[in-house]
Structure 1
Amino acid sequence: MQQRRLLVLGANSAIGQGLLMYAKQQGALVAGVSRSPAPESVMVDDWLVLELQQGEAAAVLNTVVADFCRQFQPTDIFICHGVLQQDRLKAEKTIRQLDEQAAMHSWWVNYLLPAVHLQALFGYLQQHPCRVLVLSAKVGSISDNSLGGWYSYRSAKAALNMLVKTLSIELSRLKAPALVAALHPGTTESLLSSPFLRNIPPSQLQTPAQTAARLWQVATALQPEQHGKLLHWDGSILPF
């Protein structure tokens, strides 16, 4: 049986680190890409430090990611970028709170950064039977939105879901062996979720390790009928 090889983009996020540690415990080789060096608490087989700033020629710089991927030859890829609230960026309760620069930053982290990484990986996905899970959010589902608010985050994640769907169609037309899906990880203890945990029942809150175990199982069981879909953390298909 082929040894699994996990590549995590956004590897220093809480879920990213959890995935690296869990996969390593399962006997996989693991590698990460992040703006900062690998933390001492995570044992990795390879690591790439790469910081892409909004407004740079990200697709050009991401040739480094493409080369790193070809060298590592992953069987599983997780893209773990995400930001909900940070500094000037707030989770808007009303459109009156929408801030142009903050919204652009949300779109960069939640949509464009995963997009340019997928662009960089495209050649590899055409040739290799790997599984690609892009962390999204259930609140990015247009048909599931009954509460409103969170304009920038919801819109960016909805765009991300469409990106994954459109990429899956292109890969299928090319008869590429890779599978790609967007994935809602559930509420996880992290920097992203910390301002919003007060009203979350303990039964619905997961540690990064618990989330990593669930997401690894989704990757393990990923099927062609899930290609291009938005998946719940248990592998079920969520509405767009």
Structure 2
Amino acid sequence: MIVVFGGGGGLGQALIAALLKRGETVLAVSRQPKPAVTQAKWLQVDGYESDQLHGLKDQLEGQQISGVISALGILHSNEFMPEKRLDEVNKDQLNGSFYVNAVLPILLLQTTLPLLPVKQRCFWVQLSAKVGSITDNYLGGWYSYRASKAALNMLLKTASVETARTHKQLIIAAIHPGTTDTSLSQPFQQRLPKGKLFAPEVSAERILAVTDQLTVEQSGQLLHWDGSRLPY
């Protein structure tokens, strides 16, 4: 079974469809109700902290988990857009971005780790972003999004060091999916060069192609959608 967090979003739905097409058993976790058309198992939650995921263990009872993919993330909301200048930086936006992009993923890893196999290969993947690379930052701007994704990458790297001692076949990775045609990228799509916006179905297949090839030696890395390693 593969667990998909954020299953109700555009990329989450595409991942679920691609996994089902492969014949995988999928448990989707989402704030959204189960769509009538999906064959995935569905757990609707009010939020993603451990006390709100109490039904997860029951859903996974007796199942062998082969992977977890989290598609959770926030770039903008009804209250804010990415900051272009330092004088636009504010506490509420920083707190909101860090909570969704960094805090929730590490809490999800904490919650699901006891459910993961100890001796069999398993991957735990969180979608990240190339703009979270400190080394690759040449344009500036997008303060809270960049910083929260950089924090995410560090949290996952740190967890990978610890879990290498307890779950020797577990691969923890952050994957940059490329700019995908979802609500997250919608306000910025007109500025993209031709050929740089990908359909959710394309991004989903690319993400799964990377997870297929993940090795234990890659645990803790930030990876591009083509499988190449991105700098922190």
Same fold (TM over 0.5): yes
Q: Flag structure 2 segments of 5+ consecutive residues without an equivalent.
A: none
Q: Which moved more, 1:58-67 or 1:110-119?
A: 58-67
Asked if 1:190 is matched to 2:190, the reply is no
Larger mean CA deviation between 95-104 and 10-19 belongs to 95-104
| Alignment length (residue pairs) | 231
Letter in 1 for 2:23: G
Residues 187 and 205 in structure 1, CA contact (< 8 A), matched pair in contact too:
yes
Distance in 2, matches of 1:146 and 1:67, equals: 46
1:226 maps to which residue?
218
Amino acid at match of 2:122: C
Using the alignment, how far apart are the partners of 1:123 and 1:67 within structure 2? 13
**Alignment correspondent of 2:80:** 89
- The corresponding residue for 2:23 is 27
Q: Under a length normalisation based on structure 1, what TM-score does the superposition of the two structures give?
A: 0.90
Are the structure 2 counterparts of residues 70 and 176 from structure 1 closer, same or farther at C-alpha, using a change threshold of 3 Å? Answer: farther
Cα offset for 1:218?
0.7
Q: Percent identity?
A: 39
For residues 206-217 of structure 1, the aligned pairs below 5 Å read 206-217=198-209
Q: Which moved more, 1:22-31 or 1:183-192?
A: 22-31
One of 171, 178, 188 as aligned partner of 1:179: 171
Residue 176 of structure 1, CA deviation: 3.1
Q: Secondary structure at the match of 2:190?
A: coil
**TM-score after normalising by structure 2:** 0.93
Whether 1:151 aligns to 2:151 is no
Tell me the amino acid that sits aligned with residue 31 of structure 1. Answer: L
Tell me the distance in 2 between the aligned counterparts of 1:102 and 1:224: 35
Partner of 1:102: 93
How far 1:174 moved relative to its partner? 2.3
Q: What is the Cα deviation at residue 163 of structure 1? A: 0.9
CA distance in 1 between partners of 2:169 and 2:149 (Å): 25
Amino acid at match of 1:165: K
Q: Which runs of 5+ in 1 are unaligned?
A: none
Which structure 2 residues correspond to residues 162-173 of structure 1 after superposition, within 5 A?
162-173=154-165
Structure 1 residue 103 displacement after superposition: 1.9
Report the counterpart of residue 48 of structure 1 in structure 2: 43
Q: Secondary structure at the match of 2:28?
A: strand
- RMSD over aligned CA atoms reads 1.7
Q: How does 1:200-211 map to 2 (within 5 A)?
A: 200-211=192-203
* Separation in structure 1 between the aligned mates of residue 60 and residue 81 of structure 2, nearest angstrom: 34
Give the AA of the match of 2:44.
V
Partner of 1:7: 3
CA shift, 1:68, in A, is 3.5
Rounded Cα–Cα distance in structure 1 between residues aligned with 2:127 and 2:8: 14
Is residue 59 of structure 1 aligned with residue 50 of structure 2?
A: yes
Counterpart CA distance in 1 for 2:57 and 2:171 is 17
Change (3 A) 1:222 1:77: same
Distance 1:48 1:81 in 2: 15
- Further displaced range: 34-43 or 93-102: 34-43
SS state of the match for residue 220, structure 1? helix
Q: Which amino acid aligns with 1:14?
A: G
Cα displacement (A) at 1:183: 0.5
Q: Report how far residue 152 of structure 1 moved.
A: 0.7
Distance 1:220 1:160 in 2: 22
